[in-house]
Amino acid sequence: MVRGLHKSYGKAVAVDGVDLDVRAGEVFALLGPNGAGKTTTVEILEGFRKRTSGDVRVLGVDPQQGDEAWRARVGVVLQSTGEFDDLTAREVVHHFANYYPAAADPDEIITRVGLAEKQHSRTRTLSGGQKRRLDVALGIVGRPELLFLDEPTTGFDPEARREFWSLIRDLARVGTTILLTTHYLDEAEALADRVGVLAGGKLVAVDTPDRLGGRGDGGVTVGWLGPDGPVTERTEAPTALVARLAETFGGEVPGLTITRPSLEDVYLRMIGAGE
Amino acid sequence: MNTLRLGLLRGGLETKQFLRSRESVVFTLAFPLILLAVFGAVFSGEIAPGVTLTQYFAAGMIAAGLLSTGFQSLAIQIPIEREKGILKRLRGTPMPRAAYFIGKVVMVLAIGLVETVLLISVAALFFGVKLPATAGSWLTFGWVALLGITACTLCGIAFSSLARSGRSGPAVVTPVAIVLQFISGVFFEYASLPEWMRGIASIFPLKWMTQGMRSVFLPDSFAANEPSHAWQHGTIALVLGGWIVLGLVLCLLTFRWTERD
């Protein structure tokens, strides 16, 4: 889908040789710190920015040449929240549905994003999280095959994020391909089939969340309460270590913990190395 | 869903949004009315037996109202929409680009009609302005208004690309509009202006719009008071037509859907 993508602004290089393939039907999360090039990459894929070099195909089409038929297959939720001032949420969603040949029922979309109670309010009076739900509603009302979500849950409270996640899972279940950027690791872990980590304009790793950066291959920390206080030991063979401990203690091991590196540990190591 | 139908839908939505926004109603709709009221109250004299000064200014104010709805409102509104990302969001949908512009034109025509009806009503009811009596005058009124507002709309869209941000829109466009009004015979009698000033005004559409409106609202004998001693209907149509072409070309060349990439 993306080969050798470069984007520079004058001398500043924002995206530096990214290769990326997102498979049909997959939820792919692009992780990275601010300024890593996430939005630049996504906006090139959405056809909003011109690339400096490289080859890009989105649903088989070069986004710079994307026509209306292509746009109808792509849903876009931009990073910035758009405002429609004095129009109501309901008016905006119903209006946008007219743009798409196979639009979903706007009322159903309003309910799905959780705006049913606020649909008659003017959009300028909505809270940040509610405006974001409206953005999402406008991104999915055309029933896209491919949905771009640029930091979709910024400004959401924890409950709203859970609701949003279940909405994304529903969309994925019916076969929508989803490319989302986020800097919430739990969001990537909860939603994504695969995660790509961008740092300094380079894609430093692509893998499933549980295998990213060798998370799945050993390197486990076992901790317990020894006679002289807490002890931790890193091991490649935790089962053997725990069996040995059980023997030593003659049964239950006091304060036993077994932890694999969290996605956050792996991620912080990666973006540290990428800079 | 075809482009025209989507454009009309957009026009309906834009008109609704315009009328709900207090700022746009006050600045675009009410401002020319307030000016008309102020001028009507201040200048009560006659410029000729049976023809009040207000009769003269009403013609200019109607032209200025068209400038306000077509040119000023779009040159202010579009940069705000660009800054807020509304244009970018529209580009992210399969909406045909033309539908956006059709929507703007529909909105301007609707608001321009409301504005003109309000101005004429206030002028006639409160300031004794005499309305044209012949079908021919109303026909002239119609084509001058239509060509004028079309030229203003296209120039407004083209001008919207000059503002670097949403906030700078009013600062960029308001001085232009006010200066044009002063030199084009809205606030002063056009014939009394210095010749060089009239020369500058003749380049721009507003002067020709006010002249066309004077030909409708003033007695025919007043053509002699024009610097050219004629209403010049042919030239009015030609100049406004020229601005429509120029405005359209500028729109197509300069319109930006996003702030600078």
Contacts A122 to B, Cβ<8 Å: 20
The reported pLDDT for the residue numbered B229 is: 86
pLDDT in tens, B10-38: 999 999 999 988 877 887 788 888 888 88
Asked if A35 is an interface residue toward chain B (Cβ–Cβ < 8 A), one would say no
> What type of residue sits at position A130?
Q
The minimal CB distance from A82 to the residues B84, B95, B261 is found for B84
Asked if B93 contacts B4 with a C-beta cutoff of 8 angstroms, the reply is no
What is the model's pTM?
0.83
The minimal CB distance from A98 to the residues B9, B84, B91 is found for B9
The reported pLDDT for the residue numbered A10 is: 56
The minimal CB distance from A71 to the residues B9, B85, B94 is found for B94
**How many helices and strands (H and E) does chain B possess?**
12, 2
pLDDT in tens, A181-225: 988 888 988 999 999 988 888 888 888 888 877 766 657 888 888
From B117's Cα to the closest Cα of chain A, the distance in A is 25
* CA–CA separation, A23 and A79 (whole Å): 23
Would the CB atoms of A48 and B91 count as touching at under 8 Å? yes
Per-residue pLDDT band for B227 (boundaries 50, 70, 90) equals confident
Residue B1 has pLDDT above 80, yes or no: no
Per-residue pLDDT band for B219 (boundaries 50, 70, 90) equals confident
Asked if A95 is an interface residue toward chain B (Cβ–Cβ < 8 A), one would say yes
> What type of residue sits at position B98?
A
- Give mean pLDDT, residues B116-135: 89
- Give mean pLDDT, residues A51-61: 85
* ipTM score for this prediction: 0.82
Residue A4 has pLDDT above 60, yes or no: no
Nearest CA in chain B to A67: B94
The reported pLDDT for the residue numbered A216 is: 65
The reported pLDDT for the residue numbered A147 is: 95
Dihedral angle, C-alpha B117, B118, B120, B121, nearest 10 °: 110
Burial call A88-115: b when 16+ CB within 10 Å, e when fewer: bbbbbbbbbbbbbeebbebeebbebbbb
The reported pLDDT for the residue numbered A269 is: 76
Would the CB atoms of A78 and B91 count as touching at under 8 Å? no
Looking up tokens 């044209």 gives B132
The reported pLDDT for the residue numbered B121 is: 93
What whole-number percentage of chain B has pLDDT above 90? 48
pLDDT in tens, A123-171: 989 888 888 889 999 999 999 999 999 998 877 888 888 888 998 999 9
